[in-house]
Amino acid sequence: MKKIINHPADVVDEMLDGMVYAYPQYVRRLEGLNVLTRTKAPTEKVALVSGGGSGHEPAHGGYVGRGMLDAAVAGAVFTSPTPDQIYEAVKAVNGGRGVLLIIKNYTGDVLNFEMAAEMADAEGIRVEKVVVNDDVAVENSTFTSGRRGIAGTLFVHKIAGAKAESGGTLDEVKAVAEKVIANVRSMGMAISPCTVPEAGKPSFVLKENEMEIGMGIHGEPGIQREPIQTADRIADRLLEKIFDDLRLSPGDETAVLINGLGATPLMELFIMNRRVAEVFAGKGIKIVKTYVGNGMTSLEMGGCSISVLKLDDELKQLLGAPAETPAFVQF
Amino acid sequence: MKKIINHPADVVDEMLDGMVYAYPQYVRRLEGLNVLTRTKAPTEKVALVSGGGSGHEPAHGGYVGRGMLDAAVAGAVFTSPTPDQIYEAVKAVNGGRGVLLIIKNYTGDVLNFEMAAEMADAEGIRVEKVVVNDDVAVENSTFTSGRRGIAGTLFVHKIAGAKAESGGTLDEVKAVAEKVIANVRSMGMAISPCTVPEAGKPSFVLKENEMEIGMGIHGEPGIQREPIQTADRIADRLLEKIFDDLRLSPGDETAVLINGLGATPLMELFIMNRRVAEVFAGKGIKIVKTYVGNGMTSLEMGGCSISVLKLDDELKQLLGAPAETPAFVQF
């Protein structure tokens, strides 16, 4: 294993400090916890808490700030955060109007966020939750019952965050988060593995010239391993599966995210985006906004995912609302 | 070679189209050329043109937009753009107040930008140029006489761009660009190689567990190959060499860029930043602004660089001025 780290056991702790040092204007760390909250706590709004295993940076700490999350909870690498840490995050950001938990659909995450919600409930804090399951690759998978939650989660952060910032109630914020979840689909692929620091060896092995279509962001199995194809063909494959599940018609408006998994050069993501834009143009589907970059990574995995969000007027307006976080404009 | 591309000969062309599809609000492509200019051409300001070989994305096209560059010229991967393409960029963005060329110090780039300047001069366009040489690792190197220009170039784009946007004359914009160059130093290191698509094999080989300190952004030799050390020790090594050359005193104000070379997880960049912030704090040197991310990459090279810019009031104000480009806020 060759990584720019100190001790494998310290990566999450040191990374969180490094984020706070880099972005003191946006985030601070709760004393003794792996929780980042906004530097300036807003008052009188519904609070949004997300999180999950580390290794997906800039998710989720990079999305803490005005117009998006109020707190992000970081677990160990590819490991759910514990209920007590989530509970502390909820307590820290609850401003009296309730807290929405945004959970990616992994069994451990769902369980631990639910336990935290129960702990908060017992303290009289009103908590609601949504579970993001945008990955159309496979039903059920390692760590997951149902579909996995991947990069489409960022659209939930952005849009529910804007709704909360504009004064929405907990029910309204939850409703718009669920509308995003109902309208976002993603699918990814990988060409090279990543190594969890404490494991010390790659989490999967691909042959030279082999790729996996539909691979998850922790290296969970996808649909098929096969010889790598051209970028255009890869884009077509991912889009076909997305379009099978998300019905789009000519004239529909969408937002698109071409997401790098950590080791994929921007050059390759732009080459993917070229094909995606051409396919959409051919179908007469409008792309209102495109994001290209490393928005939800898998350490140094090579590969990418495509996320497509079908917009309506409300989603479009909230997506375009201002946000100030370390990473939002970054992807 | 395993890459998400179509044909190796098409990567630059398709990448540029992919950028324009992603960011039509910022950039457009000059017909038949590998030149990106602002979508909305400003009038009545000094124009800034930069560029260089491709493979360093988001540099330089990602820095085209209000408050930074007016045009970026993309050569083949790791290859200088040709004089005629640079000349076309200069002609396209010249608004009558002159054009500043921002050149990274590589022999081919310097030569080709100078030839373009002569062509423009013959047409009555006033052109000045600055050459960025921020890399303190080595004097002279493959492709370079003197020091190499690397990620510190982004501070030149930002600050000279702000000066031009505020109405500065060509001489004033050039003077502030030269002030940045005099006050910025960088140094990098690599743990894994990159592969130029048309070459098809890695440009260098490092042994398992070996790193190279001072390596250039095209894989040019650095100072030393040696077993990989901790992130803290790597940060110390890079900073020692930077501090040897850039005299800083307690109370001085700086901006810092922790730059990923393409395949380095954000987690590792934040761990590096933690140490950098602590070293600066220990010396009583202030970091006014930190950027962490992939600002000037080397395809999928693993590794990072640190850039330090010593600020005065003028540089600080211009660094903080608004900018709207695809990638500025991204790093």
Give the neighbor-by-neighbor strand order of the sheet with B27-29: B27-29, B35-38, B71-77, B47-54, B99-104, B127-132
Task: Find the radius of gyration of the CA atoms of chain B.
Answer: 19
Question: Which residues are A101's β-sheet partners?
Answer: A49, A129
Residue A330 has pLDDT above 70, yes or no: no
> Model pTM?
0.96
Domain range for B32 is 12-183
Span A39-64, average pLDDT: 95
Alpha carbons B102 and A291: distance in angstroms, whole number: 27
Return the CATH number at B153: 3.40.50.10440
Boundary-marking domain end, from B135, B150, B183: B183
Give the percent of chain A with pLDDT over 90.
Answer: 92
DSSP strand E in B166-236: where?
Answer: 184-192, 210-213, 224-227
One-letter identity of residue B209 = N
Size of interface A-B (CB pairs under 8 A): 193
Residue contact A11–B269, C-beta within 8 A: no
Backbone angles phi, psi at B82, to 5 degrees: -80, 155
Say if A101 falls within a structural domain.
yes
Whether the CB-CB separation of B49 and B86 falls below 8 Å is answered with yes
Tell me the per-residue pLDDT of A91-107, one tens digit each, with 9 for 90 and over. Answer: 999 999 999 999 999 99
Burial class (CB in 10 A: 0-12, 13-18, 19+), B207: exposed
Q: Has residue A4 been placed in a domain?
A: no
Predicted confidence (pLDDT) at residue B215 exceeds the cutoff of 50: yes
Average pLDDT, chain B: 96
Residue of A nearest to B190 (CA): A4
Domain assignment present for residue A238? The answer is yes
Q: Express each pLDDT in A16-45 by its tens digit.
A: 999 999 999 999 999 999 999 999 988 789
Q: Which of B53, B65, B50 is nearest to B19 (CA)?
A: B65
**In this model, does residue B331 exceed pLDDT 80?**
no
| Cα dist from A197 to A78, A230, B13, B308, whole Å | 10, 31, 37, 29
Shortest CB distance from B273 goes to which of A22, A55, A62? A22
The predicted complex's ipTM stands at 0.96
| Collapsed DSSP state (helix, strand, coil) of residue A130 | strand
CB of B200 less than 8 A from some CB of A? no
From A262's Cα to the closest Cα of chain B, the distance in A is: 6
The answer as to whether B53 is a domain residue is yes
Q: Residues A122, A77: one domain?
A: yes
* pLDDT tens column, A2-16: 999 999 999 999 999
Comparing CA positions, the residue from B318, B316, B314, B268 lying closest to residue B289 is B316
Q: Flag the least confident range among A138-152, A284-298, B73-87.
A: A138-152
- How many domains would you assign to chain A? 2
Q: Which residues 59-118 on chain B approach chain A with CB closer than 8 angstroms?
A: 62
B21-30 mean pLDDT = 95
Placement of tokens 């109370």 in the chain: B251
Contact B276, B308 (CB under 8 A): no
Same domain, B164 and B48: yes
**Pair of tokens at residue B247:** 């005299």
| 8 Å CB contact of B265 and A290 | no
Q: What is the mean pLDDT of residues A117-146?
A: 94
Per-residue model confidence as pLDDT tens digits over B243-267: 999 999 999 999 999 999 999 999 9
pLDDT of residue A141: 83
Catalytic residues of B: 56, 218
Q: Comparing C-alpha atoms, which of A263, A237, A160 is closest to residue B299?
A: A263
pLDDT digits (tens, 9 = 90+) for B291-317: 999 999 999 999 999 999 999 999 999
Whether A266 shows a pLDDT value over 70: the answer reads: yes
Which residues in chain B (304-323) have CB-CB distances under 8 A to chain A? 304
Task: Give the residue from B148, B183, B218 where a domain finishes.
Answer: B183
| A253 pLDDT tier (thresholds 50, 70, 90) | very high
Say which of A6, A271, A331 has its CB closest to residue B14: A271
Using the beta-carbon criterion (under 8 Å), do B192 and A2 form an inter-chain contact? yes
Question: What's the confidence (pLDDT) of residue B144?
Answer: 85
- Tokens for A313, please give them: 């007027």
Same-domain pairing of B71 and B215: no
3-state SS track over A3-50: CCCCCHHHHHHHHHHHHHHHCCCCEEECCCCCEEEECCCCCCCCEEEE
* CATH number, domain with residue A237: 3.30.1180.20
Looking at the fold, whether A24 and A41 belong to one and the same domain comes out as yes
* A316 pLDDT more than 80: yes
Are B38 and B125 contained in the same domain?
yes
Asked if residue B75 lies in contact with residue B196, where contact means CB atoms within 8 angstroms, the answer is no
How confident is the model over A247-255, as a mean pLDDT?
97
Which residues in chain A have their CB less than 8 angstroms from residue B209's CB? 2
Residues B301 and B179 in one domain: no
Report the chain A residue with the minimal C-alpha distance to residue B279: A21
Mean pLDDT of chain A: 96
Statement to judge: residues A50 and A176 lie in one domain? yes
Residues of A marked as catalytic? 56, 218
Q: Is B9 on the interface with A (CB under 8 A)?
A: no
Both B178 and B194 in one domain: the answer is no
The per-residue pLDDT for A329 is 60
d(CA B272, CA B316): 24
